[in-house]
Chains A and B, each alone.
Chain A
Amino acid sequence: MKEVLRTIVKHIVDNPEEILINQKEEGQSTILELKVAADDMGKVIGKGGRVAKAIRTVIGAAATKTDKHVSVKIVD
């Protein structure tokens, strides 16, 4: 799941080498903590959170084949 998130984000940000993703398992859910360069924060969140929402929707679809709930947290 980590790689799905990385694939999306690396094509959107200006500094793909600064992407950090930390995967945590908590019972039935997987939490992906995404960290990007400070300049790229706006790019992964988007106006009114539009980009973040689209990323979460696609990650959610990727998770349908597994029996886990996957959430994406953007951290700074």
Chain B
Amino acid sequence: MERVIITGKTIEEALSRGLEELNTTEDKVEYRVLEEAQSGFLGLIGRKDAKLELIKKVDKKEKAKEFLEELLEEMDLNLAVEIIQDNNEKDALLNITGDDLAIIIGHRGKTLDSLQYLTNLAVNKGKEDYLRVALDAEGYRGRRKETLENLALKMANKAKKTGRKVMLEPMPPQERKVIHAILHNKSDINTYSVGKEPYRKVVIVKE
């Protein structure tokens, strides 16, 4: 965390000098007045400068990016991280790109999910204002969603034709949600989940 203690003839002056020193803007710092300015007698005797303490706020999205970059470099993977900017304070989406994408995605996204979970822990350690971090790898999430939706429709047809329950393989909550969502408006199909995490799976049945 970067901080400076700075003085100026007025609070405003001290603040603007401090911002210059930290090379940042007012919305990214917190400040505390240590001493008020005193104009003194005729502006000559007993005049005192204002003293401020400026602390640069940590941008959690930046922190998530730095954490991932440090980790990917230690892992010796040729990958870059970018923050997909939006104006939302509570959610962050980061995209990973590069040659070693397959390694970081892992089998059915298992490594990407683990990395996402650890990034959330690292960024939100002991701090308020929870930031939910989502990771993507060159559109992997979108492609996976499409695959799951196709699977869901195919299995719904199978359930209709055979009249039997179709049980899918175990999936994490976000993936089960995709299955439930796409089949939600099918009037002749019902879906529910059985089992305990992480082996919980979706069951598709004919109504």
Contact = CB atoms under 8 A, between A and B. Distances in A.
Contact of B118 (A14, A55, A62): A55
B111 A7 contact: no
B90 to A, nearest CB: 20
Interface string A59-72: 01110110000000
- Tell me the interface secondary structure of chain A in the complex: helix
A7 B72 CA distance: 10
Contacts of B104: 61
A3 B74 CA distance: 7
By size class, the interface of chain B is 20 to 34
A14 B117 contact: no
Interface in B110-157: 110-111, 113-115, 117-118, 121-122, 125-126
B71 A4 contact: yes
A3 B125 CA distance: 20
Contact of A54 (B67, B77, B118): B118
Contacts of B70: 7
Contacts of B106: 57, 61
Interface in A26-74: 43, 48, 50-51, 53-55, 57-58, 60-62, 64-65
Interface of A: 3-4, 7-8, 11-12, 14, 43, 48, 50-51, 53-55, 57-58, 60-62, 64-65
Interface of B: 67, 70-71, 74-77, 103-104, 106, 110-111, 113-115, 117-118, 121-122, 125-126, 197
